[in-house]
A = this chain, B = another copy of it.
Amino acid sequence: MSRLVKGLRSFSSTASSLLADTTATTSARQPKSFLVFRDVPQLRQLRRKLLQNERTVGFVPTMGALHEGHLSLIREAARENTDIFVSIYVNPTQFGVNEDLSSYPRTWDSDVEKLEKINDELARVQAEGSGPATGRITAIFAPTSKVMYPTLPPSSEIDGQGSFVTITPLSTKLEGGSRPVFFRGVATVCMKLFNATTPDRVYFGQKDVQQTVIIKRMVQDFHIGTEVRVISTSRESDGLALSSRNVYLGDRRRAVGLTIYRALKAAEESYLAGKTSRADILGAARAITEQVLSQQNALSPSERALFEVDYISLADPETLEELDVVEPTRGGVLSAALKMAPLEETNAGENCGLGDGKVAVRLIDNMILQPRC
């Protein structure tokens, strides 16, 4: 804590002088309160100076399309570090060959605007003395794919060539079942990003629970000198987990998509009510999905939104092995993936979301069953 305070006291003088002589390549929209780095050497130079000045770095890796969930990670990073690095990079190796890499939202200008706003907010909170001392976003790392994959082109093929980190069997479970290259891509790009930024702490959202388990495992197994912080899932007021992909839903699929939250909530309630068996806990979730699906099937194609349940899982919090019974001292992870099909028929004036309801949208969500004692 003393280090944090010391770092913060000298924020205005030190940060600006550190940044002043660090050359950074800037991009389309020119931010004011932080630098944008497109390559590693200058970022590393800044990082080294921060280290020598006993400042601490919290790192928030993103694929852009920033929403309130990302901002909550940044706020948490600001509470625990003097400096925040945010990366914006849509990593091709974690998208399967037939997945939505090309349609993944890319929103640079609005992302930068959101990051500047949150820096303003952090400064205001500190100036007003209305909150604890906080760090600021110092650097955005927005590399090109040639920087991230400097030798061979990034491959999404299962047998693709390249330099990869694999974490098995964790990466084959849950999401890995339908997305075989996903966690190889995630672990690989995170290893690169962690090495480029060498953060004291790195921030991930609870929403991607398998990602958090795999990154924690990677940090442990490879002795990466960073602390992994997992922040609660940000949700809409009705419970829908925030996701960059939600913009593709539109009103009708958004309403039905809430089923994933309701199903998990029902399962969680069953555990909180004292149930421990897989049949009881997941049965509560399945009752919800089946009820909604039969209601939707009874509607006409212009009224309904159909979906498929990819999985509903009850798994061990560290190994992600499926559980028959939750050990109350150990707890578990409830998680689900649900694929909203494209709308069959749309109506004039209907808000069908980005892509006019033609893009299938895969929703994931999870809840942690906390140990009881």
Contact B192–A40 (Cβ < 8 Å): no
CB distance from A213 to the nearest CB of B (A): 11
CB distance from A52 to the nearest CB of B (A): 7
Interface residues on A, range: 20 to 34
A247 at interface by CB-CB < 8 Å? no
Within 160-185 of A, Cβ neighbours of B (below 8 Å) are at 161-169
A103 at interface by CB-CB < 8 Å? no
Contact B163–A164 (Cβ < 8 Å): no
Closest-by-CB residue of B relative to A187 is: B163
Closest-by-CB residue of B relative to A51 is: B51
* A169/B163 contact (C-beta < 8 A), A198-B225, A223-B196 known: no
A221 at interface by CB-CB < 8 Å? yes
Contact A221–B150 (Cβ < 8 Å): yes
* Most chain B C-beta atoms within 10 Å of own C-beta, residue among A163, A191, A224: A163
A93 to B166, CA, bound (A): 14
Within 252-286 of A, Cβ neighbours of B (below 8 Å) are at none
Contact B218–A163 (Cβ < 8 Å): yes
Contacts of A40 in B (CB 8 A): 223
CB distance from A236 to the nearest CB of B (A): 36
Closest-by-CB residue of B relative to A214 is: B163
Contact A165–B168 (Cβ < 8 Å): no
Contacts of A151 in B (CB 8 A): 217, 220-221
A329 to B44, CA, bound (A): 33
A164 to B198, CA, bound (A): 20
A22 at interface by CB-CB < 8 Å? no
Closest-by-CB residue of B relative to A188 is: B222
A195 at interface by CB-CB < 8 Å? yes
CB distance from A10 to the nearest CB of B (A): 16
A198 to B169, CA, bound (A): 28
Contact A220–B166 (Cβ < 8 Å): no
CB distance from A27 to the nearest CB of B (A): 20
Q: List 23 A-B contacts (CB under 8 A).
A: A44-B225, A51-B52, A52-B52, A52-B54, A150-B220, A150-B221, A161-B168, A161-B169, A162-B221, A163-B167, A163-B168, A163-B218, A163-B221, A163-B222, A164-B165, A164-B166, A164-B168, A166-B166, A191-B222, A195-B222, A195-B223, A195-B224, A196-B223
Chain A interfacial positions (CB closer than 8 Å to B): 40, 44, 51-52, 54, 149-151, 161-169, 191-192, 195-196, 198, 217-218, 220-225
Going nearest first, the 8 A-B pairs with the smallest beta carbon separation are: A163-B221, A195-B223, A196-B223, A161-B168, A163-B167, A161-B169, A40-B223, A164-B166
